[in-house]
Structure formats: structure tokens, C-alpha cells
Amino acid sequence: MAESDLQEKTEKATPKKRRDAKKKGQVAKSREVASVAVLMAGLSTLSVFGSMIYGHIRCIMHRGFSMIATPNLGITDFLALGHWLVQHFIVMVAPVMIAVVGIGVLSNVLQTGTVASWEPVRPKLSHLDPIKGTGKLFSKQSVMELFKSLAKLSIVSGIAYWTVKGEIKHFLSLSGMDVSGIAVYILKVAFKIYIRVSVVMIFLAVIDYAFQKWQFEQQMKMTKQEVKEEFKQTEGDPLTRSRIKRIQFEMAKRRMMQEVPKADVVVTNPVHLALAIRYDSAAMNAPEVVAKGAGEVAQKIKEIAAKHRVPIVENKELARHLYRMVEIGSEIPSALYQAVAEVLAYVYRLKGKGSN
């Protein structure tokens, strides 16, 4: 057994593990929240558009009964009726469907954010394994979902039973009402059941969401070894990183040393620091430091300069300021123009270039 399997998962999930899980569609989500949201959206839409829907139903029934009573109907009449029925049905259903779908999507987005992953629905051969399928049926998760479904059914049934039981005495008086009065009374009782069920279901949805969030965090936890392995994968092994940095430093140093022969002068302090300066009045606004270094690097700069007959000038104060203030490949600051100009003028005189 791997060492990471033996360790206890005590560490919180890293951002990388959370990103990877989200790509696979693994997020903390409560189905109860979406179910309650969809239920409330549907019933609320029905309560708002109920009179409109009722009007369409009456219109459909009236049109249907009228056609039944009409003799000698042809195929054209039935096609026209079908087209008319479809139009009315779409108008009736559209508000409810839009509300249900919109709220369903919104409730999931608010829980998980925007998750676009085909991983959960991607076909896998393991899904066809009857042994694994049977195992999933009796898994702890499946048993928990079954328990929640039975609990919801019991709660809804219980609320409906106690509500109807409390209305028994009113049911006895329904015989004296007309059809519309009975319909209004039944709708009132149904709305009372809906309100009570909604309150309980919202409470259960909040509890379920908190539980799903906690359970997801527990499942996402990592062992200390897993955290170390992930760090190595994302940040790289410390030995490898140091080796890469060393190689990069050597490459940068070689490129820098290649610029020393092109320099006009090397300024030293004279032992610890060395800076190579180049100035081309036609292409540069100000002199540039093309190479600099301390210790062994400074010694190497001086050796290359001597080999290629680049003048070496000792100026402790200027060398110190240049080393501290100017990066390789950068122009010297205006505060040092005068001092550098004097050094360049001295070098040009030595080379016989004059002021050019």
C-alpha cells in the first residue's frame, strides 16, 4: 500500500486540487436547494399567471366542445384546431417553463459558480460494469439519498394530512357551494399546504447544503505527502530549480561577457567591482552598462577587457555608484553623466579619437 494511503488526510485541499476537481465537475452542491428553488419558482409562477392559464383552459375546452358539436368536420378543420391548440399550450406553459429552467440553472450557478465539464457524463466502460453498478446502488451515498427522499415524502405527506385534517369541518359544507366556490376553496387549501411545505423544505435545503459543503471539504482533504508531491509537480523539485537557476545564470553571464569586447571602457574600484561601458552617439541617447560584476565576475571582465585591449580605468566612487544604480543593458542616470563623460573623454584621448 502506498505511503500516502496510510497517512491520515489532515490538510485542506490546495487550489490546484480544487481547480482539477472543478474541471471534472466535482463541486459542493445540494440537490435539495435546486429542488426547492424549482418548486417555489413553478408554484409562484402558477400563482401569478394562474388566471391567465385558467382563461386559456376555459377557451380550449369551449373550442373543443364546440367542434365536437359541429357536424361534418374535415381534415382541414382538425389541422386548424391542432395548430390553435399548440399556440395556446405554448402560451400557457412558457411562463412556468422559463421560470423553472431559469431558477434551476441560477440555483446551481449560485452554489458552484460556472462549471463547464463533460467529465460526469462522458461514456466510460466502468459504468457498464454490473458489479460496480450494484455496489453503487448500495453505497453510503445512495442510501443517504434514499433516506432523504423518504424523509421528504414523509414530511410532505404529513403536512398535507394534518392540513386536510384541520379542514375536515369545512369539507362538510362544500355540498352547499357551487363549482367555482369549491374550486376556490380547494386552491386555498392547496396554497396553505404549499406554504407550509416550502418553509420546511427551505429549512431542510439549508441543512443539506451545509452538510454537502462539509462532506465535500472532507473528501477533498489531502495527506501531508500528497501536498509535498503536488508542490514538487507544480513548483518543481528544489534541486532541479536550483540547477535551472544556475544554468540560467551561467547563460546570462556568457552573454554579458560577449559584450565586454564591444565596450569603450571598463571602470573598476579596482579590485572588487568592474563595469563595462559602451557609448555610440549615433544610436544611443546615453552611455550603457553592458556588463558588470563583483569578485570573480569582475576579475573575468577585466581579463576579457585586457585581452581585447579595452581600456580599464580605476574610479572607485564611480564604480560603486554605477554598480548600485544601473542594471545591465540600462543607460546611466543623468546624475552620473559628468563623471562618465570625463572617463570616456580620457579614453578617447588615449585612443586618439578626440571628442568623437
Three-state SS string across 310-331, please? Answer: CCEEECHHHHHHHHHHCCCCCE
Q: Which long-range contacts (CB under 8 A, 24 or more apart) does 59-68 make?
A: 59/88, 60/85, 60/88
- What number of other Cβ atoms are within 10 A of residue 24's Cβ? 13
72: part of which helix (H) or strand (E)? none
Three-state SS for 321? helix
Predicted local confidence at residue 310, as pLDDT: 92
Radius of gyration of the chain (CA): 41
Amino acid, res. 291: A
Burial class (CB in 10 A: 0-12, 13-18, 19+), 197: buried
Burial class (CB in 10 A: 0-12, 13-18, 19+), 315: buried
Task: Report d(CA 350, CA 299) in Å as an integer.
Answer: 23
Counted residue by residue, the chain has a size of 356
List the grid coordinates of 239: 534541486
Task: Report d(CA 8, CA 225) in Å as an integer.
Answer: 10
Would you say 307 and 267 are in contact if contact means Cβ atoms under 8 Å apart? no
- List the pLDDT tens digit at each of the 356 positions of the chain: 444 455 677 788 888 888 888 777 778 778 888 888 888 888 888 878 878 887 887 887 777 777 766 677 777 877 887 888 888 888 888 888 998 899 888 888 887 776 655 555 555 555 555 555 555 556 677 787 788 888 888 988 998 889 888 888 777 777 777 766 777 788 788 888 888 888 888 888 888 888 888 888 888 888 888 888 877 776 666 676 777 788 888 888 889 999 999 999 999 987 889 999 999 888 888 999 999 999 999 999 999 999 999 999 999 999 999 999 999 989 999 899 999 999 999 998 887 754 44
List the grid coordinates of 289: 552598462
Superfamily (CATH) of domain 241-353: secretion proteins EscU (3.40.1690.10)
Three-state SS for 74? coil
Burial class (CB in 10 A: 0-12, 13-18, 19+), 310: buried
- What number of other Cβ atoms are within 10 A of residue 272's Cβ? 15
Print the SS3 string covering 143-193.
Answer: HHHHHHHHHHHHHHHHHHHHHHHHCHHHHCCHHHCCHHHHHHHHHHHHHHH
Task: Report d(CA 286, CA 324) in Å as an integer.
Answer: 18
List the grid coordinates of 301: 571582465
What does residue 331 show for φ and ψ, rounded to 5 degrees?
-75, 150
Predicted local confidence at residue 131, as pLDDT: 56
112: part of which helix (H) or strand (E)? helix 75-112
How remote is the C-alpha of 191 from its chain's centroid? 40
Predicted local confidence at residue 93, as pLDDT: 86
Q: Which segments of the chain belong to CATH 3.40.1690.10? A: 241-353
Distances (CA, A) of 317 to 35, 274, 320, 336, 340: 77, 12, 5, 11, 11
